[in-house]
Amino acid sequence: MGAAVIDGKAFADTLRGKVGAAVAAFREQTGRAPGLAVVLVGEDPASQVYVRSKHKATVAAGMESFEHRLPATAAQDALIALVERLNADEAVDGILVQLPLPRHMDEKAVIAAIDPAKDVDGFHVINSGKLAVGEEALVPCTPLGCLMLLKDRLGDLSGLEAVVIGRSNIVGKPMAQLLLQESCTVTIAHSRTRDLSSVVRRGDIVVAAVGRPEMVKGDWLKPGATVIDVGINRVPGEEGKSRLVGDVDYAGAAAVAGAITPVPGGVGPMTIAVLLRNTLVAASRRAGLGAPEGL
């Protein structure tokens, strides 16, 4: 039997609907809409697409969208000055600087300039620290989206073996923290891990976030494992066109796994849906309201 397909697009659509309803309640209570500011530096084509999608989704959820664009040649100080203006702007509840930044900029310094209460990406060290010690934090969108899909599929994750492949600050490390909070036994594997296939085979849950097209093969998996593919890699396709693939060899993995996210249509759509959720959470906290329910 083939694996069940985890439909991230459908889950994300439902989450966006729930956020939209909660935003309407927030507007009733406060007389204003939550505001999300997105900053794009340069003209990276993929980043432009993501920023446009974020703007559309923000407006569709009933929130205010503020878009700021700087040229690729902008000085880092100019970007930080913009972030500081957004920190002080009462209409802005969430600030997101689209990554990657141009090479002359230091991502860590830019992220450090964001007010942690408005850091809807959850990348600020204050938020990563709070996540690590189990305090209320803004949590990075992609790993939180993966966790939502896993809980929807598996229910209680307690005691399960989870293998996270990739140790980035944006996905791998926060993913491992979230799984640990769910009482999984967590292994973080990475490019230096010896005998990676044997490590991966321990996983009841495998989260692949390495950025290497189709690296994880079907025969690396424990039969019945739940596989979450975070990779979005553009590779040459037929007739000179490109196609998207994940970090997992989908056909091989689907023959062994119990369930698997596709690429596209799996984790990707969750990133933007959770961003909307995080913006509403940040706005609710700033307005002194309780956490929005059911999100």
Question: Does the annotation mark 98 as catalytic?
Answer: yes
- Residue 55 or residue 285: which is nearer to ligand LMY7XDAE going by CB? 55
Q: Which of residues 244-273 bind ligand LMY7XDAE (CB under 6 A)?
A: 244, 263-265, 268-269, 271-272
Distance of CA 166 to the CA centre of its chain: 14
Work out the burial of residue 217: count CB atoms within 10 Å of its CB; fewer than 13 is exposed, 13-18 middle, 19 or more buried.
middle
What residues contact 77, with CB distance under 8 A and at least 6 apart?
A: none
- Give residue number: closest CB to ligand LMY7XDAE: 268
Question: Does the annotation mark 121 as catalytic?
Answer: yes
Could you say whether residue 279 binds ligand LMY7XDAE (CB under 6 A)? no
Could you say whether residue 282 binds ligand LMY7XDAE (CB under 6 A)? no
Residue 191 assigned as binding residue = no
- Residue 30 or residue 233: which is nearer to ligand LMY7XDAE going by CB? 233
Q: How far is the CB of 174 from ligand LMY7XDAE (least distance, A)?
A: 11
Could you say whether residue 142 binds ligand LMY7XDAE (CB under 6 A)? yes
Q: How far is the CB of 22 from ligand LMY7XDAE (least distance, A)?
A: 21
The CA distance from 142 to 148, in Å, is: 10
Q: x-or-dash pattern for ligand LMY7XDAE, window 48-77, by CB under 6 A?
A: --x---------------------------
Tokens of 248: 């997992």
- Residue 111 or residue 179: which is nearer to ligand LMY7XDAE going by CB? 111
Could you say whether residue 141 binds ligand LMY7XDAE (CB under 6 A)? yes
The CA distance from 257 to 250, in Å, is: 10
Q: How far is CA 224 from CA 90, 183, 196, 210, in A?
A: 49, 20, 19, 22
The CA distance from 292 to 280, in Å, is: 8
- Residue 254 or residue 272: which is nearer to ligand LMY7XDAE going by CB? 272
Residue 242 assigned as binding residue = no
Residue of 93, 115, 119, 121 with catalytic role = 121
Nearest residue to 131 via CA among 175, 95, 185:
175
Sign of CA dihedral 17, 22, 23, 25: positive
User: Length of the chain in residues, anyone?
Assistant: 295
Taking the C-alpha atoms of 184, 196, 244 and 6 in order, what is their torsion angle to the nearest 10 degrees?
-30
Bridge partner residues of 235 (DSSP): 243
Q: How far is the CB of 57 from ligand LMY7XDAE (least distance, A)?
A: 10
Question: Does the annotation mark 48 as catalytic?
Answer: no
Q: What is the 3-state secondary structure (H, E, C) of 114-139?
A: CCHHHECCCCCHHHHHHHHHCCCCCC
Q: How far is the CB of 244 from ligand LMY7XDAE (least distance, A)?
A: 6
Residue of 18, 93, 98, 204 with catalytic role = 98
Among 25, 70, 74, 99, binds ligand LMY7XDAE (CB under 6 A): 99
Which DSSP string corresponds to 213-281?
A: TT-B-GGGSPTT-EEEE---EEEE-GGG-EEEE-SB-HHHHHTT-SEE--SSSSHHHHHHHHHHHHHHH
Q: Which residues are catalytic?
A: 54, 98, 121
Binding site for ligand LMY7XDAE (CB under 6 A): 50, 96-99, 121, 141-142, 232, 244, 263-265, 268-269, 271-272
Residue ranges for the known binding site for NADP(+) are 166-168, 232
